Amino acid sequence: MSDEISRDEKQSLAVRLFGRALHVYFGLTRSMTLGVRAACFDGEGRVFLVRHSYIAGWHMPGGGVERHETVEQALEKELREEGNLVISGKPQLFHVYFNNRTSKRDHVVFYRVEVTQTAPRKPDREIVESGFFALDALPPGTTKATCRRLRELEGAEAPSNHW
């Protein structure tokens, strides 16, 4: 058991250091960071979530918006890469959040989308698990921010300005 705890603690420290290094790099190369995420629903009303190798918990798919890329282009790219997802119809912009937990310059554009999956997403070095989940049966470890966004989408809570 102590070997597992030690390994988990080391991985957690490595993950935090890697995340911090990325933000230092982005801080030196960009004046502001912009990301995009989406609550992706299938035809059965289930939401698609991913579990990354480099951060704890289950999250909605998304990622950074690159130079010369629109927010919707980034959204389509991230959903394709993280879940083999294709957007059906027009993405619905829900809110823009200030993600001050990550840095003092990070913003997240959040959408609600209907999707179809072209093929199951196989685990790799970035995404270790993914899948569709009923809203009343989210996997253990679903992040607080993910749960809050889903409550906001349902109208159970007013949208926060912070991720």
Residue 4 in this model has a pLDDT that exceeds 60: no
Q: Give the distance, in angstroms, between the CA of residue 93 and the centroid of all CA atoms in the same chain.
A: 15
Using pLDDT thresholds of 50, 70 and 90, give the confidence band for residue 30. low
Residue bearing the bigger pLDDT, 16 or 43? 43
Amino acid residing at 24? V
How do strand 127-133 and strand 62-64 relate by DSSP bridges? unpaired
**Model confidence over 83-130: pLDDT tens digits?**
999 999 999 999 999 988 767 888 999 999 999 999 999 999 999 999
Mean pLDDT of the chain: 90
Mean pLDDT of 30-47: 92
State the pTM of this model: 0.81
Predicted pLDDT at 2? 47
